[in-house]
């Protein structure tokens, strides 16, 4: 099934709504992410905290904070459903505005790569859920970080490459 620009735009707008709604819900939960009276962040768990700190936080959370973090991760699945298809739709919108066949193909490939980013994000949440009950293992932590990096690189590349093309004026006849 090949969609026209209007179809991709509709998908993008639906995804944008889902993205915004779930982002609001997740942001609302974040002030409750406390470990021993100190706040922690999802970005910290994903990127900046070392293995030891992630182990310490996830295995030492109060039950209430564990539940809130679990809710956040569940909302993240809905968030993903808005983000990656939304970026893919944005890429497809950009590809339809691009005059170059090479750029069209690049944008289509980046759109398709969002499936990999989506998969990596799902796996990332799977690790976090597992680690809420079992300690973080060093080899898992390395795999987790690889998933995080792949996800961020693909998603940011997709958004940053597609936005300038998607914002272009449409050519006549399209």
Strand partners, 34: 39
Give residue-wise pLDDT tens across range 35-69. Answer: 999 999 999 999 999 999 999 999 899 999 999 99
| Distance from C-alpha of 79 to C-alpha of 118, rounded to nearest angstrom | 10
Give residue-wise pLDDT tens across range 1-47. Answer: 578 999 999 999 999 999 999 999 999 999 999 999 999 999 999 99
**Statement: residue 142 has pLDDT above 80:** yes
DSSP tag of 136: P
pTM of the prediction? Answer: 0.91
Tokens found for residue 25: 């819900």
Number of other residues whose CB lies within 10 A of the CB of residue 75: 18
Domain boundaries, the chain: 5-166
Give residue-wise pLDDT tens across range 121-140. Answer: 999 999 999 999 888 888 89
- Residue 9: exposed, middle, or buried by beta-carbon count in 10 A (0-12, 13-18, 19+)? middle
State residue 38 phi and psi, 5-degree precision: -115, 140
């Amino acid at each position: 099934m090949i969609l026209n620009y209007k179809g991709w735009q509709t998908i993008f707008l639906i995804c944008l709504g889902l993205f915004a709604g779930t982002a609001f819900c997740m942001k609302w939960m974040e002030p409750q992410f406390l470990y021993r009276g100190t706040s922690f962040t999802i970005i910290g768990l994903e990127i900046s905290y070392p293995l030891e700190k992630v182990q310490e936080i996830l295995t030492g959370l109060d039950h209430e904070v564990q539940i809130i973090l679990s809710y956040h991760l569940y909302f993240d699945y809905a968030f993903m459903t808005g983000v990656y298809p939304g970026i893919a739709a944005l890429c497809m919108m950009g590809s339809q505005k691009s005059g170059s066949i090479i750029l069209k193909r690049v944008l289509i490939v980046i759109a398709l790569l969002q499936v990999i980013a989506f998969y990596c994000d799902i796996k990332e949440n799977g690790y976090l859920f597992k680690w809420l009950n079992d300690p973080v293992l060093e080899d898992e932590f390395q795999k987790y970080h690889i998933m995080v990096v792949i996800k961020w690189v693909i998603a940011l590349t997709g958004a940053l490459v597609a936005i300038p093309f998607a914002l272009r004026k449409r050519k006549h006849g399209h």
